[in-house]
Structure formats: structure tokens, C-alpha cells
Structure 1
Amino acid sequence: MYLKRVSVFTLCLCVLTSVYLCAGCSTAVNDLVYIVDGSWSVGSADFETAKQWLINITSQFDISSYYTQVAVIQYSDTPRLEIPLGLHQSGAELIQAIQSITYLGGNTQTGRAIRFAVDHVFSSSQRASQVKHRIAVVVTDGKSQDDVVDISMEARAQGITIFAVGVGSEITTSELITIANKPSSAYVLYAEDYTTIDRIRDSMEQKLCEESVCPTRIPVASRDEKGFELMVGMKIQTKAKKIPGSLVSEAAYALTVSTDITENTKEIFPEGLPPSYVFVATIRLKGTASKLTFDLWRVLSKDKEFQAAVTLSGKDKTVTFTTTSIRQKEQKVVFKDNFQTLYDGKWHQLKLLVRPTQVTSFLDDEPIQEILLDPMEAIYINGETQVAKRRGTDITVPVEIQKLRLYCDPYQSERETACEIYSVVRSLTMPLLPLQD
């Protein structure tokens, strides 16, 4: 049983120097408390599986006094503090401690366990003024035999984020929704049983990471999505000229060679980037912009090394995605096919779905290509984030931008449509022609 790969080199740099400040899920400053069901219905074998699941999902964090500290509460009739918050200052120590937890057995008093976490565990943190995120993960396989409503509301009111994980068929969905933060679609997870709980490990890891590095919200339709509204963060709306957008209802902004869209990365991505995200840009490339090679969006380190970038080449009609790599300073993937129309002088939506092992490109809602990625590192945030810059220079390329966003939830790729593009709207609303004999 091992933690997944974590770059010790990168983490050491984060600790030892402030010149090269890196940030990401591994370096998030969290107090993370697991509240784990140890009642009779779980059973000793499944409890061992639950312990391994805790080890697996904790692996994305650097366990130390600088970053994430972890506590574990096992509960049945009464809660039992298995691992105090901040006791273990390394991943290896934490693994050993979790593996040593013995199964409790008893009834299911979930509300009492949450109360114990609020009153005695989170309150015991020695880093109260430093911790940015206080997160509880409640894992249960059945209905609580006491009330969970009042204490869950109290915990959330104190700024504690609660995830509820239901395992098996005896869980009560309404109770999990009562325990967790809103919306329940983001904070409630389900597993069929303990033998399949590892299937939701990736989802749990992503959600914990989102909570750590994506605290902001973007208003989208009837819900708020975690992410970064780059039009606002990069101050494009105040620096560039407002122009008509792709539809009468849309506004866009025209950049000129004298428009400098540059901000400190610490102000845009203060906690780095999540392991999965969706980059969305609605743009129009006319004139020189449709012929040049330039970075539509790029994140540079203090030494001007690329941490992330989306590069457009009018000459080759390609899109290139650049990100970090554990094997070298950076890695690039080039999407070579079916991007010709992006450079035709009309409005288009470019979308990249980035996951830890692959990146998928879309143009106007149509999937184009999927390319594998090597494992990525956390990014350095002491540099700058820029928009529409010629490759290798600080010269701005005159592009027109209507939307520029980065969503933390990878499933937003499915929800974010290109209905703002006239050709897409028209194809969706045109009546079907009658069949010809």
C-alpha cells in the first residue's frame, strides 16, 4: 500500500525558497478530517477497504506542517479520535497510522461524530490563522441513529466544507444531502459497496482538489461553477474596447497591439491549477491574428518557463497545449487536424478538456482529438499570466474575445455548449427538410 507519486523535488523547492513558489493540490493549505463509519454494518473486511481508500485519496496532498494536515475519526455509538489533526507530518507516517486503526463496531451515530469533529478536532488546529480550507469527509454505509441536521448546519456556518460519501444500498440520500454542502451534486458521492468504492476515488480526489484550489464561482445558467472567470481576473473588460459579440445578446472585447493583458499569476491562480480543468475561449481571429502564431493564454514562471499555455498557429492551422511534466520542464501536444475553420475570421468556441493523463480538444462543441499526457507537476505562481501574446515576446496580437474561462469541474465540458455561436445555434434550430422520394 503506497501513496501515488508525488514530486519530492517540487515540494522541496516550494518549502525552501520563496523565489520559486509553486502551487497546486499537493501544496494546498488544508485541515482535512475524515469521519469514517465503523459500525457493525460495515464489517471488518470492508473497514479495511475503507482505510485503503482514505490512503489513496490523501495521496494528492503533501502531508506536512506547511500544507495539508489530516485527522481521522472513527465512529459508531461514540466517536473515537484515531489520528489527531497535525500529529503526522509526512505521508509515510500518515499511511502507517491509518493502517493501524482497528475496527470499532457498534451503532451509527453520525451526528455525534460530526459534533465531535467540530468541537474537538477542527478547533484543535494549531494553524487556525493560516489554514485556508477546513474540509470534512463523512463516509457512511447507513442511516444515522441520531440527528445530523443541526450540527451539519452549524459546521457549514463555521466555514467547514462537508463532503458526504454514501456506501451501499442502506444509505439515505436525503440524509447525505442534509449533511453535505450545496449543491449536493458536487458534495455528495455514492458507491455501490465497499468493494467498488475505489471507482469514485478519482471523483473524490478531483473534488477535494477543486475545494482547495478553486474557491471562486462563475455564475452559469441556474448554478455557480467553480473556476476562474479570466475576462474579469485578467481585467480584459476594463483594458480592451467593447464591441458587439457573436450574437446581439453578447458583448466582446477587441485587443490591439497596445493592449497589455498581463497579471501576476498569484492574483489569478493563487492556489495553482487543479489536476483536471476545462479551458473555454470564444474568439474571433481576423487579419494578422489569423496568420500569426501566438499564445492565446499562457502562465509563465518567474524565469519565463511555460507552466501552461494554449497556442494558436494561423500558419499551420493548429492548436498547441503546453503544460508541466515530471520528466522535463514542459510538455507540448499539438492538435493538427480539423482546426482550419478556427482561423476563418468568424466567431468560434475553442474548448480543451484537461485531465491528468490526457487532453481533449473541441471546436464549436465538436470533439476534435484526444492526446495522452505525461504526469503533470504543480505550477510555479511567482510569474505572470498573459493573454494574446506573440510566442517568445510580450507583443499583443489583436484578437477579439467574448469568453475566456477555466472551469475546475471536468464535467463542465459537457454542460458548456457553444450556443453563443451563430452557426451552432442555427444548426440546432433549423427545421428538418422533408425526405425526397
Structure 2
Amino acid sequence: MRGHQVVPLCVLLGVLFGGLLPNLEAQEAQESADLILLIDGSENVGAANFPYVRDLALRIIERLDVGRDTIRVALVLYSVDPDIKFYLNSYDSKSSVVEAVKGLAYSGGDESNLGAALEEVAESLLSQSAGGRADESVPQMLIVISAGPSTDDTGAGDRALKRAGVITFGASVGDAASADLETVATDKTFVLSAPDFRAVASMGDQLLPYVNGVVQRTIIVQNEFTEGM
């Protein structure tokens, strides 16, 4: 049976020219982006450590130009099932997004079904009705924050997101989540790791140049579809 294989081709201008990301703060930002945060809310994180993960999300958002016409943000917690906390068009102001994130509570669950969560993102969060602006050529990106391996298969959701041209980054707490995140990320270099929860907040500073790179179009992705058996 023939199908289509999605092959992501990353164009990292900063890597191609000089080996490092450019000084993004010195560049004039282009218009906008859609950012989805997908956060592990399972026992991999635990109630005691969830505030560290929540603070990482806040650290990312607080340093971005969030707004209806600039960077829109959506957020999903996942464990046994994905739980959409808000959509790209749920809030018009940065302050509203920040307050919503501050109000996040640990959900718990003994499963970490990243695959189901990725499918939910692809099916429910990218469309125009959910605030997605892919039809306007606005880049869409996903940051997965995980503290353990997925308990289900990530293949279908991963393929759907790559087919849609979503640029996916990973933030791994410890080593257990790294393999799954490297699989679903647009590129393995897009996966960052913190050794423990107390070091999680530092990943916000590391992720910011990548996020700004997508916003400013210094990081883009193109997909090629090839016939395969």
C-alpha cells in the first residue's frame, strides 16, 4: 500500500552562516506566529514539581510579544488524555494569557500519552476556527515540555504536525523524555534538556532565540512528500 512520507527540511540560516543562531534581538521582528505549548501533566512531573514546569511556560510567554495580531498562544496539558486549557483565540492580551498560565493546576495521571496529545493539537488547535493562521502564512510552532517517555505511540500525531508544517521544539526534564522528543521535534537540535526540575526555568532563555527565529523567519521548515510503500 502506497502512502506519503513527510520529510522535514529545516533551513536554519544562523546555523548555515556561522554555526550559531543570529543575534535575534538586533533584528526587526516580522509580524506574527502561532505558539502552542504542550505540557506533561502526568506523574512524570508530579504535584511538587509542576510549579517549575508552569514557571517555564511563564518565562517563555513573558518575554514574547503576545497579542491577537502578533504571537498567539495556546496551551494543552496531557497525561492520560489531552486537556486543552486555552486556544490561540481564547485571549486577546498578553496579561490574560499570563494569568491563565498562572492559574494552571497539576492534573496528574499515571500515563503520559504524548501521541494522543499531538493528535489533539493537529486536529483541534491549528485551524482557523481555533485561532490558527496558517492560511495567512503565519508560522505555527509547538513546544513540548516533557519529563518522561510517552506511554503511547507518537507516530500519527507526529506525521500530522510535520505534514502541516508545524515547527516542533522539545524541552526535556532529565534524560527519559529525550528520545521521544527527538523523534517528534522538527530537528534533533531543537530539543533542549535540563538535568532536574530546579534547572527547568533556564530552558526558557535557551528556547527564546528559537521561538524568535520562527517569528522573524530566520528559522523556517519545508516539507517534502515522497511516495513510499
1:132 is matched with which residue?
Answer: 138
> Is 1:151 aligned to residue 154 of structure 2?
no
Q: What is the 5 A alignment of 1:397-436?
A: none
Normalised by the length of structure 2, the TM-score is: 0.78
Deviation at 1:126, TM superposition (A): 5.3
Does the 8 A contact of 1:29 with 1:132 survive in 2? yes
Supply the AA of the counterpart residue of 2:101.
I
Does the 8 A contact of 1:34 with 1:71 survive in 2? yes
Q: What is the 5 A alignment of 1:190-339?
A: 190-215=193-218
Does the 8 A contact of 1:135 with 1:160 survive in 2? yes
Does the 8 A contact of 2:42 with 2:107 survive in 1? yes
> Is 1:85 aligned to residue 88 of structure 2?
yes
Percent sequence identity over aligned pairs: 23
CA distance in 1, matches of 2:117, 2:149: 13
> Is 1:32 aligned to residue 35 of structure 2?
yes
Change (3 A) 1:109 1:146: same
Larger radius of gyration: 1
CA distance in 2, matches of 1:215, 1:179: 21
CA distance in 1, matches of 2:132, 2:33: 12
Deviation at 1:30, TM superposition (A): 0.9
Deviation at 1:216, TM superposition (A): 6.0
Deviation at 1:63, TM superposition (A): 1.7
Deviation at 1:61, TM superposition (A): 2.1
CA distance in 2, matches of 1:168, 1:120: 29
Change (3 A) 1:155 1:48: same
> Which has more helix, going by share of residues?
2
Does the 8 A contact of 2:115 with 2:154 survive in 1? yes
CA distance in 1, matches of 2:75, 2:85: 5
DSSP 3-state at the match of 1:80: strand
CA distance in 2, matches of 1:131, 1:86: 17
Supply the AA of the counterpart residue of 1:114.
L
> Is 1:60 aligned to residue 63 of structure 2?
yes
2:224 is matched with which residue?
Answer: none
Deviation at 1:116, TM superposition (A): 0.4
CA distance in 1, matches of 2:94, 2:153: 34
Misfit runs of 4+, over 4 Å: none
1:121 is matched with which residue?
Answer: 125
DSSP 3-state at the match of 2:207: helix
Does the 8 A contact of 2:66 with 2:94 survive in 1? yes
CA distance in 1, matches of 2:199, 2:212: 22
Q: Which of 170, 174, 178 is the matching residue for 2:176? A: 170
Change (3 A) 1:120 1:207: same
> Which has more strand, going by share of residues?
1
CA distance in 2, matches of 1:28, 1:78: 34
Deviation at 1:131, TM superposition (A): 4.7
Q: Which of 134, 137, 147 is the matching residue for 1:141? A: 147
Relative CO higher for 1 or 2, CA cutoff 8 Å, sep ≥ 6?
2
Change (3 A) 1:51 1:140: same
Query: Deviations for 1:203-232, whole angstroms, at most 9, x for unmatched residues?
Result: 100111112213468xxxxxxxxxxxxxxx
DSSP 3-state at the match of 1:45: coil
DSSP 3-state at the match of 1:65: coil
CA distance in 1, matches of 2:67, 2:137: 12
Supply the AA of the counterpart residue of 2:122.
V
Does the 8 A contact of 2:126 with 2:133 survive in 1? no
Normalised by the length of structure 1, the TM-score is: 0.42
1:103 is matched with which residue?
Answer: 106
